[in-house]
Structures are given as C-alpha cells and as structure tokens.
A and B are shown apart, each in its own frame.
Chain A
Amino acid sequence: MPIELGPRAAVHLLNRIGYGPRPGDVERILGMGLDRYIQGQLDAPADPELDARLRGLNTLDYPISQVLTLYNADQRSIAVILDQLYTAKLTRCVHGQNQLQEVLVDFWFNHFNVYIQDGFARFSTAAYEREAIRPHALGRFRDLLGATAAHPAMLYFLDNYLSRATVTTGGRVVRGLNENYGRELMELHTIGVDAGYTQEHVIDAARCFTGWGIDNLSTSGRFVYRPQAHDTGAKSVFGLDLPAGGGKDDGDKLLDYLAAHPKTATFIATKLAQRFVSDDPPPRVVDSAARAFASTGGDIREVMRAILGSAEFWAEAFGSGKAKTPLELVASALRAADAEVSTGRAVVAYLQNMGMPLYSCVPPTGYSNRGADWINPSSQLYRMNFGLDLAAGAIAGVSADVRGVVRRMGGDSEDPRSVAGTISAVIFGKGLSPSTLEAASRVAPGGPVSVAARVAGLCLASPEMQAR
C-alpha cells in the first residue's frame, strides 16, 4: 500500500509538537501548509477560545498568598484549587491551539520538577507553573532557570529556603548548609550528572544560594533574600571562581555561568531531542540543537526551530514511533475522540493508575522522557481501558460523541469497516495497520454498545495509538 506523504507527515507533526490530531486537524494543517503551522506554533499567539474555557476556573490566577489565606480560613479549599489546576492542565492539552507551548510547559515543568503533594508545594505549584515555567517555555533558558531558582515552590521543594551559612561560634561548627538545590541545579537543571563536577563543587554551589528563602510559609509565601544567612566566603564551582564578599548575586552569577556553559547546551539539546525525536536521538540532531542553543544564548524557540527543521525529526514520521507517556496517550485519545473535558478528576485517576499522576512525580528527576519506560503490562491494561471507556462515554467529567464525529467526517457510523477507515484517515494519517483495521472491522452488528463506540474504542486501544 503506497504511503500518502502529506497526511502521514501532518499526523507526525501533530503528534510530536502537540498532543495529537483532533478530527479535521490533518486536513486543516495540510491546507495551510506545515511550515506555516510550525511558525504559528513557535509564535504561540493569544488563544481567546482557550481563555474562555478556562474562565470558570477562578482560582487559577490566585497568588500564593491568596491560596494561603483561603486555606487558613478553610482547609478544604485546597482540594478545589488543585482540582481546578488539574482540569486546567487537561483543558489546555486537549483544547489549546498552542499545542507546542503546552508540550513545552509540560517538558520544562518536568525538567524543573516540583512535587505538588509536598507541604508548601501544594500552595505554590500552580503559581510556579504560571509564573516561572509558562512565560519562558519558548523563551530564554536563562530566564527560565532564574525564575525557577527564585520561585518559592522550588526553594521549598529542594530545601534551599532552609540553607544558610555554616558558622563557627566559640570554636564549635554550626552547620547551616543544605546541599539539595546546589546538587540538583547542576545534575538535573543545567550541566548534567556526567559533566564532571565534584562534591566540593556541589557544596560551593549550595553556598552561592544561602539566604535565598521564603518570606513566610503560611502567609505570604514570597521570595526573600536574607543577607545574614548568606555565606560570604569565596566559592569555586566547576570553573567559576567567585571572590569573597558576594551576596545574592553569587547565585545569579552561578546561574549565568551554568546557563551559558556548553555542557548545558548539550544536556538541554539532548533532552529536547529525546522528547521530540526519539528515545535515543541521533547525534546529528543533538549537535544542531546544541549549536542553536549556544549561538543564540539559549533561545528555546531557535532550538525548537533547529529540531523541527532537521531531517532526523522528519525521518521519524516513517519509523516505528516513540511510545507515548500516559499524559500523551490520554490527551491524544481525548483529542482524537473530540472529547469535552469539564472536570479532570476521573482522568487524573487514570493517569495515576498509568503511573503518571499530574504534578506528582516525587523525585526531583521528573518523569522519564523515554517512551520505552512507560510500556509495561499494568500500564498497558489501563491504556487500553482508557480508550475503551472513553469511546463508551464511561469517564466521568468527559463527554465524547464518537458516532457524531464519524458521521461528521463522512463515515457510516453503523458500518465497522467504514468507522475504522474513517478513524484511520482522520487520526492516523491512514496509518492503522491492515491487521488493526481488519480486527476493528470484525465488530459484530447490533448489541447494547454501538458499533461506532466499539470500533473507536478498539482503535483508541490499538497498538498504533500507543506510539506517536
């Protein structure tokens, strides 16, 4: 069977820089041209339709202090606030026009991971994503790094708010340092674990940030710098020497240095290529992304342009694909079914069972970027069941009319072969394999569950749906 290049390339693009096609998307972006679509995604203009959908979620923009005030008045309020955050996340992935931006917000949140269930993080994670991650998702890496470093959510999660200079009083050493942020800043956020830094560098990196703290954990929750807690001694971190007498700027200078380090360019380029190209990305695309990072001073938009312009990215359109993470699987299924998400709670439970609860990765490492890590029998069962439940309309807070979609796309909703063929064309760029098409077409007529729901459920649970 000859492959139609256009639809396959369009589906690839929609799957990689977004959460997959909605019915009609393939035709739409082929009509406008893939170049123009990419440019629009890099520009990420205003999305009033999405804003309208989010308007009902009134706590989304609350500053940390307001969340704390509400919580102090009534502890039950935090459950509502978190529910709104989860619903907003799914709404953006499923309904947002700026799909690349949503993918990158997810990518950077995960890169600079904080765990929402951890104490003060519950009150500050929404603000963290809104203030530190989202504005810089397609911006400059140094801005992103600085915004995360100084955000109360990160200061809390990696304990830096507690870190202060170790002092000697009356001949006795009073230890004040907390190494957590200093280590993860280098290992996870910038130069990478294999860069070659030492334990002494970890200690000195942590010393740079002594005094970077949080004003009051139960009322204001604002960033504060406490000069009296800062270690003013000289520091040496992985080639950067800072003389004695520095203040808050010790931390800023270290962030400048690490953001501009060639190891950071390679580390970030590798991770982005892993997200957008393949689990083990070819060195050529990593090199070109790293060069774009280095030559533009860490302009994420230009790094993305390099990746999306590479032959390696497009070659993947005709490969075996990259396994979807649970979020990618769930969001892409919701989009494929043209579903409306009014509340995210039931979907969040599915993500939990698949091993990827929203904002809830415990280790600072973040969730794995490798598709292969998400494929196992337990997760697979939940993945198949999500597709079956979605098509059958059995997920609370989610409505999907697969029959209507099939008809709208020109298919015969009572004929299994026509339903499967329509889904293959509209969602998979005609990429469903003959064996999958044949199996889906064997659905028996009649019965309590409609033909369209059963065929769509099988297609959403199919092997092809598991990869992007």
Chain B
Amino acid sequence: MAWDISRRVFLRGAGLAAVGVGFHPSSLLVRAAQAAEAGSRVLVQVFLRGGCDGLNLCVPFGDTEYYDLRGGIAIGRSEVVSLDGHFGLHPALAPLKALYDDGRLALLPAVGNYALSRSHFDAQDFMESGTPGDKSTGTGWLERSIAKVPGNAVTEAVAFSAQLPRSFLGPEPVLVAQSLSSFDLRARNWRAEAETLLRAMYDARDDALGHVGQETFAAMAVLLRTPAIMAPPAGGAVYPNAAIGNGLRQAAQIIKAGIGTRAIFVNVPGAFDTHANQLAAHTLEFTRLAEALVAFARDLGGQMDDVALMVTTEFGRVAFVNGSAGTDHGSAHCMILMGGRVRGGRVYGSWPGLGRSQLYQERDLAVTTDFRDVFAELARAQLGVDGSSLFPGYTPGPGPGIVA
C-alpha cells in the first residue's frame, strides 16, 4: 500500500536526521515522527444518543449501595459478567468479555464533566464541541483534531449519520453518509449528462450549497472507483441490523478500503434515554452494542492494531431508580474503549463510590475523569495531534493512559 511505503520512508528520514544532530533529536522531529507513526491510524467515536446509563453497563456489583440505590433494576451479582471482582458487565454485553480478557477492551466509568448539564441537547452539544458550558464554540472537537492532520482527502473524516455531527462542525470536509452503497446519481440512460450538468451548477457556486455539492461529487468519485468499499465483512463477522451495526460495518469497510480515512464518527440513536423500563431497553440495546463491537473486531482482524474506538454518550443517569423502573438524567457516564493499541483488560479511572456523601448532589455518580482528557489521549495516539490546544480554555491532563 502506497500509504505504508511513504510512511516508512518518512520515518527513516526522520531517524537519520536525528542521528545527524548528535542523538539529540529536536522536539520538532520527534513530533514529526509521531505524526508519521500515527499516519495510518484511525480514531472511531461511537456516540450513543440519549444518555446511556453507566451503572448498569459496567456494574459496580462490589458496592452494596448499588443494590440499595438501584432496587428492582439492579443487575444481580449472579448475572453480571465479572471483570475484576468489583465491576462486571451487563449480561447482554457478555460477548465483550473475550475482548477484555484479550487485552483489547477497557472500561472507564465515572467520566464526564458537570458543566455538560442534564439537558440531552446541551450535553451532546457541549461534549461534541469539547467546551462544556460554552455555547459559542463554532467548531467540533473532531474537526479541530482532523484539521491538524496533514492532507485533506474527502474521505479523511467520515460520519455515519443522517446529519453532520456537531463533533465535525467546521471548515474541514467531512463525508457524511448513512449508506456507502449506491452512492451514485439516479439517472438511468443519462447518468453522464446528469453528472456533467449538475457538477457545472454546483461548481459555479462558492457558498455552502455549492461546497456541499462539490463534496458530494468528490466523494462519489472516490467511492465509485473503490469497489473494495463494498467488500462483505471478513472473518465471519455478523453485524446486527441496527444503526450501530450498520455504522460499524461501513466504518470497517472504509478502513479496509484504505482511502486515507483517519477519523470516523458513528451516530447511534437508540433507546438509551431510559426513564422507564430500563431493563428491557438495555437488553435490546446492549445486545446490539456487543454484537456490533465483536463483529467490528473480527471484521478488521489485524487491522484493529491501527484502530482505537471509543463508545461515549452525553451523560450517565441518576444513581437511584426512579418511580418507573428507569433512571432520570444524571452526570458521569461510562466509556468503552477498544482497539489493538488499547491497554485493555482493565477498568480505568478512580471510582468515586456510591455512598450518599459520595454522590454528586446526592443523586448522580460523581465525575472523576474529564472526558476531554480521554479525547485528547485518543487524538494524540491515533492522529498524532497535540491535545494541549484542542480544547479552548482547557489544557487536558495526562489522560488515563488507556491507549498505548
């Protein structure tokens, strides 16, 4: 693959230069080498819309308070898939245990930021802009990350979503698609003429509508000349027929096609806003989530070494069950991280506990890791991007050290 050759050549050059300056490589060269090293890596963000409850995803079954707080919707000690004797996976997530044991999947509970707020819309907006509490930020955190990556291939940034996610908002071109298949004009018997004339209409404009038309035709050209994009899942992977399955299946396709994709966003609307009957909703959604993640890992095989994926959501939910066998909007949530370079097999972060005085405002699981520290760590590891200037008004900490 051309990509690999240029990467190796560049690294060799950087190494020689380092030798040339007497074993004291300048920080610039180190950074260049890091960027080159990251050159074929991919960052995948899966966003579960609705505020996915973390306490029933990664269950702190070692805390007796958990059972007092959760009552009828608690996951019993005999049902959880124990990870370390204190935390365990929801039973519908059991297929993830093998990835965890294999050291390729990690969990990070108690992540978030109090300024995200308990409003779905605000919390999603704040998380995606990376500036909790500040609505004036005009760009998304992934857009700012990808802007620092050299090159601007039309398929460098891809979102599997009906709309441009806030995370990618900004001037960088992004391919937003619900489906990569039949990404073509429907003009049977006059397709060439239709494309020529429509291109002329959109090329003549230098405004948002013109640009989106131009991006559409550019993406169409790349996708149509890359038939590999339609390759069926490898390794016997079977994706669930749901937003997360369709999103990750296509994410794997575009990664395998090798067309320079570096950042992928998978939008997952679903039944995560579990104000009522949480157990039934989670069984459905977590089954899909686990099947999709397992299929993705199987499908990519060795290429998983270049991928780091995080599953995130706008907020977690109240620590105690509400009156409807559900949970209302809370604060800290739980992230899932997966990939060949994820130091998995561990539950990360500092656990704040579930005692009355340990809860935030006596109701929510407290936040002990700022979500931006994790975002910055992934941007650094996968895109070679320096995270210190990624979030206006915030310098990320060292990060939990989940990605090597």
Contact = CB atoms under 8 A, between A and B. Distances in A.
A178 B118 contact: no
A201 to B, nearest CB: 12
A179 B270 CA distance: 20
A384 B184 CA distance: 10
Contact of A377 (B184, B198, B212): B212
B210 interface: yes
Contacts of A418: none
Contacts of B122: 193
A384 B185 contact: yes
B328 interface: yes
B207 A320 contact: yes
A175 interface: yes
Contacts of A381: 183-185, 216, 220
Interface in B178-198: 178-179, 183-190, 193-194, 197-198
A268 interface: no
Contacts of B6: none
B209 A466 contact: yes
B208 A375 contact: yes
A354 B177 CA distance: 10
A39 to B, nearest CB: 33
Contacts of A433: 204-205
Interface string B343-363: 000000000000000000100
Contacts of B179: 353, 378
B306 to A, nearest CB: 25
B127 to A, nearest CB: 15
Contact of B119 (A176, A187, A458): A187
Interface residues of A, number: 64
Given A355-B162, A375-B208, A384 B326 contact: no
A457 B186 CA distance: 10
A199 B361 contact: yes
Nearest to A188: B121
Given A162-B323, A363-B50, A388 B200 contact: no
Contacts of B208: 323, 372, 375
A180 interface: yes
B275 interface: yes
Interface string A87-125: 000000000000000000000000000000000000000
A359 to B, nearest CB: 14
Interface string B316-332: 00001111101011000
A177 interface: yes
Interface in A411-450: 433, 435-436, 438-440, 442-444, 447-449
B276 A162 contact: yes
B120 A375 contact: no
Given A363-B49, A377-B219, A178 B324 contact: yes
A159 B326 CA distance: 10
Contacts of B305: none
Contact of A175 (B200, B202, B321): B321
Nearest to A210: B323
A164 B186 contact: no
B275 A180 contact: yes
Nearest to A447: B190
A43 B320 CA distance: 51
Contacts of B121: 187, 193, 363, 365
Given A179-B328, A381-B183, A388 B194 contact: yes
A461 interface: yes
Contact of B205 (A380, A388, A463): A463
B370 interface: no
B163 interface: yes
B37 interface: no
B366 interface: no
A133 to B, nearest CB: 21
Contact of A444 (B193, B215, B321): B193
A439 B201 contact: yes
Interface in A352-408: 353-356, 362-365, 368, 372-381, 384-385, 388-389, 392, 394
Contact of B209 (A159, A202, A467): A467
B164 interface: yes
Interface centre among A363, A377, A443 (most CB of B within 10 A): A377
A378 B178 contact: yes
A447 B190 CA distance: 8
Given A159-B276, A381-B216, A461-B198, A448 B189 contact: yes
B268 to A, nearest CB: 10
Given A320-B207, A381-B185, A449-B190, 19 more contacts: A159-B276, A175-B322, A175-B323, A178-B324, A179-B329, A183-B329, A187-B121, A354-B162, A363-B273, A377-B219, A378-B175, A380-B213, A380-B216, A381-B184, A381-B220, A384-B198, A442-B200, A448-B189, A463-B209
- 3 tightest CB-CB pairs across the interface, nearest first? A355-B162, A176-B323, A435-B204
Interface of B: 49-50, 117-122, 161-164, 174-179, 183-190, 193-194, 197-198, 200-202, 204-205, 207-210, 212-213, 215-216, 219-220, 269-270, 273, 275-276, 320-324, 326, 328-329, 361
28 contacts: A159-B275, A166-B323, A177-B323, A178-B276, A183-B118, A183-B329, A187-B119, A187-B121, A193-B119, A193-B121, A193-B122, A362-B50, A362-B269, A378-B178, A380-B212, A380-B213, A392-B188, A394-B186, A439-B204, A442-B200, A443-B193, A454-B190, A458-B197, A458-B201, A463-B201, A463-B202, A463-B209, A467-B209
Interface of A: 158-159, 162-164, 166, 175-180, 183, 187, 193, 199, 202, 320, 323, 353-356, 362-365, 368, 372-381, 384-385, 388-389, 392, 394, 433, 435-436, 438-440, 442-444, 447-449, 454, 457-458, 461-463, 466-467
